[in-house]
Structure 1
């Protein structure tokens, strides 16, 4: 049996960039299975970097909007956001007195991100008086302090105490939110006059794109409560949904400031149109290569390099093949520079190509004689790896080529960081291993990961999957390349 579709009215201001206010409310309502409606309290000229101007229509026009909706549509839930001043608050309060909606969630917009108070004293008192019409209020910590007329809480225990005091004084449920606290945790709690009704732990998500989270959360709660969830279930469901929307926020790339959350991330993913963030792609690709990376660490060549027991003939075979590989790798890097769509990417790959040649000279020429360095021929493993790269370059597939080039940075940086730490004391390869601990190479690796995964985030789903495949093929070639000096390669 399908769940009922609640009709949810948002009473709030606007955000022309779509991340907060009514625009965010309507997205949140739809994402959580509701039918969204809206009455505008203020027209706000803002973007992800701040508010520029606010125009407030006459209160009589707001009343006309509210009456037009409630005289025609059965309202299952109301979310109230920005009310701007005492007159607007009184207008909404009068309408609530007359209509008595079954669910009212109040998100008190009282304190700006800068810490500035947005309402004068009389308006703040009018908002406290409105609490008698609300079933749930969802303040952040600065707003909770204003409503409770207490200093801002600096600990979670203080926040819970203020929430309980507010709930008891106004006979309203309070959602205490710990997002303004420092540390890795971001707890919430549903609090009533008797204390905590539902504890909702959560981890802080590393992103600056949190514009409109308060609007989005409160409207999602109103929607889920309007669908028949109890208050604890509605809050828990809305929090879980919002966590996913915040986790996907970076993929939107909206604005130059604090961008919006991705309200429809779950729907887009289910439909196959979800665009993951670059950081998510990096994490997924690295995890996909986990078994291959474990196999690399277990190879006799890698263990022998680490403890110094690798026979010198095998070490020289490795160096000779690596020199041959780097010659062709530098050509593939140069091809990536030619194919790259942006000047930034072109410059990076060109610099990397030059660096590969320099690395060949530094890592090998001083350790192999000319006859060993120039007489060697590429073995089957080296040829297979090089053919994989140059074939992608010849086909002009920049995205796949960039992904295929990445493991030579990423795997060597990962393995080399551990090898460089082991090459101390009388280690026979200590001076050579020390080159892998180069902080400049680590920084270059991080930049390569950033550029390639950002490219994947911009790409279509089929191209992104082809990039992932090219990356994993190169990781397998890396494993075979490490194995080859002792006969474990192709």
Structure 2
């Protein structure tokens, strides 16, 4: 069941037609179905068009439009309404009056006002009537030129200008605005859900993506707004519905050329995901990476605030604490190398096998050599793993024993990603005579950064291709490793300046050879 108690939202599209099926009501019905809804349609205009352009438009009498709307609402409970092409002021007034009488729970308005050529589609009276309709909507989804008309301002040329216009429209009409950056230049493509907010002004939720180079963009605005109406009717969550609708649209655009429909700007492939996976969308890799990194933002902030990490960064860390940490880290790396070797054994491709095997070799040969140069092989031989080290190793080896390659590599990822991020940032604030410069150099090294990027790429690709249950298990393993990483950095005994002057041990910590030590290096 959905957040609104409906397994299948009933969504009405009020729009014009497209006989080639790529835009208008035909696209709306496909979008509604592809996103899990039951679509209904009321026609506002009959349009003779194809992928190359519009030839003519026939607008049925407004009285007939009213009869269509009443016929639907007299019989069917409507969960959401998507409004598209409204060709004249009289048509807009009929729709406005119907909304005032019926009051559907969700109204998404796609203000079709500007043609692809840049020509305005509505006369001044119709534009004014459309502005009066805006407060009856829950969200409007204009492109950049249409947003300018709603704002009564020149067309924005930068993303900051788009956001500012969207904010003014949102506050003026008390409506959400889905600001879209597709008309702006550049490879990055950002959209934003701008909400009126309160006394502090509009609130903005940004959604970042990458431009898809294709001619198959016919009907993207229609399709996105219909998907949004359907998904928000199902969940009641505007940011979530927006993110899911954008992900679905991007996937549909990428597969549009496969349809081979028309010689102009072809349609998107509304059902590409359904045909390939039975309805489960594949997350965008960049979006997935950002979501996982944001998921552990709190853990990362806690790591940054730890006395050990602060002292490591500014060089004031007690040398005995650092050696104590490295001894535990060396013990961790030996078992970490075993988990890496198991990932190599389970890897589905030769490239991934080579990556994990090489990482295992590096953990044993290179990183252990760095650790032993600080603490010496004799001291290391007398060191027993502490409880934090043991817990972390057990987590990694349990993931390996599970036998699921995807969960295992997710558990290994923080060891690369967190250390690369932390090493680069601490290295940037160090100086040539920094006492721990060799350690910082190792984790800020471009080769390690490249390895971290490869690890992120492997894991996100595996997560994107996995089913939802496995993806959640991967995220849980990743999150647990990040927490173990935090505990590892928290475990070393850190002396205050006063303790060092007095010759006291910090936090009652033993020497590096003691069996109660606890913290290590990487994460997994």
RMSD value, Cα: 5.0
1:139-150 correspondence to structure 2 within 5 Å: 139=114, 143-144=117-118, 147=119
Answer yes or no: is 1:217 the counterpart of 2:202. no
Residue 426 of structure 1 aligns to a residue whose secondary structure is coil
Answer yes or no: is the 8 Å Cα contact 1:105–1:137 preserved in 2. yes
Q: 1:89 aligns with which of 44, 51, 55?
A: 55
Cα deviation, 1:43-84, whole Å, max 9, x if unaligned, reads xxxxxxxxxxxxxxxxxxxxxxxxxxxxxxxx4544748436
Inter-partner Cα distance in structure 2 for 1:182 and 1:331? 54
Q: 1:207 aligns with which of 210, 218, 222?
A: 210
Which residue of the partner structure matches residue 138 of structure 2? none
Answer yes or no: is the 8 Å Cα contact 2:24–2:85 preserved in 1. no
Change (3 A) 1:76 1:451: same
Answer yes or no: is the 8 Å Cα contact 1:328–1:386 preserved in 2. yes
Answer yes or no: is the 8 Å Cα contact 1:210–1:261 preserved in 2. no
1:241-390 correspondence to structure 2 within 5 Å: 244-247=244-247, 249=249, 254-255=254-255, 276-361=283-368, 363-390=370-397
Inter-partner Cα distance in structure 2 for 1:239 and 1:381? 38
What is the TM-score when the length of structure 2 is the normalising length? Answer: 0.59
Answer yes or no: is the 8 Å Cα contact 1:399–1:467 preserved in 2. yes
Answer yes or no: is the 8 Å Cα contact 2:19–2:47 preserved in 1. no
Answer yes or no: is 1:444 the counterpart of 2:451. yes
Inter-partner Cα distance in structure 1 for 2:466 and 2:389? 30
Task: Count residues in correspondence.
Answer: 389
Residue 376 of structure 1 aligns to a residue whose secondary structure is coil
Answer yes or no: is the 8 Å Cα contact 1:81–1:215 preserved in 2. no
Give the drift of 1:412. Answer: 0.9
Answer yes or no: is the 8 Å Cα contact 1:78–1:222 preserved in 2. no
Give the drift of 1:173. Answer: 5.3
Answer yes or no: is the 8 Å Cα contact 2:410–2:478 preserved in 1. yes
Task: List gaps (5 residues or longer) in structure 2.
Answer: 70-82, 93-110, 132-140, 146-154, 167-172, 180-189, 192-207, 231-236, 259-266, 274-278, 494-508, 510-516, 520-524
Inter-partner Cα distance in structure 1 for 2:475 and 2:392? 16
Inter-partner Cα distance in structure 1 for 2:376 and 2:227? 74
Which residue of the partner structure matches residue 431 of structure 2? 424
Inter-partner Cα distance in structure 2 for 1:98 and 1:134? 6
Change (3 A) 1:291 1:35: closer
Give the drift of 1:404. Answer: 0.5
Change (3 A) 1:32 1:106: farther
Answer yes or no: is the 8 Å Cα contact 1:8–1:35 preserved in 2. no
Change (3 A) 1:242 1:485: closer
Residue 17 of structure 2 aligns to a residue whose secondary structure is strand
Which residue of the partner structure matches residue 17 of structure 2? 11
Give the drift of 1:432. Answer: 2.4
Change (3 A) 1:238 1:209: farther
Residue 89 of structure 1 aligns to a residue whose secondary structure is strand
Residue 403 of structure 1 aligns to a residue whose secondary structure is helix
Change (3 A) 1:9 1:485: closer
Give the drift of 1:409. Answer: 0.9
Answer yes or no: is the 8 Å Cα contact 1:336–1:349 preserved in 2. yes
Answer yes or no: is the 8 Å Cα contact 1:327–1:357 preserved in 2. yes
Change (3 A) 1:341 1:365: same
Higher alpha-carbon deviation: 353-362 or 210-219: 210-219
What is the TM-score when the length of structure 1 is the normalising length? Answer: 0.62
Residue 18 of structure 2 aligns to a residue whose secondary structure is strand
Which residue of the partner structure matches residue 420 of structure 2? 413
Task: List gaps (5 residues or longer) in structure 1.
Answer: 38-74, 108-129, 149-162, 190-195, 228-236, 266-271
Q: 1:393 aligns with which of 380, 387, 400?
A: 400
Residue 206 of structure 1 aligns to a residue whose secondary structure is strand
Change (3 A) 1:311 1:182: same
Answer yes or no: is the 8 Å Cα contact 2:326–2:371 preserved in 1. yes
Answer yes or no: is the 8 Å Cα contact 2:389–2:488 preserved in 1. yes
Change (3 A) 1:347 1:171: same
Cα deviation, 1:144-173, whole Å, max 9, x if unaligned, reads 2xx36xxxxxxxxxxxxxx88x54699985
Give the drift of 1:348. Answer: 2.7
Answer yes or no: is 1:434 the counterpart of 2:401. no
Inter-partner Cα distance in structure 2 for 1:480 and 1:239? 33
Answer yes or no: is 1:475 the counterpart of 2:451. no
1:5-44 correspondence to structure 2 within 5 Å: 6=12, 11-12=17-18, 14=20, 24-30=27-33, 35-36=39-40
Change (3 A) 1:409 1:257: farther
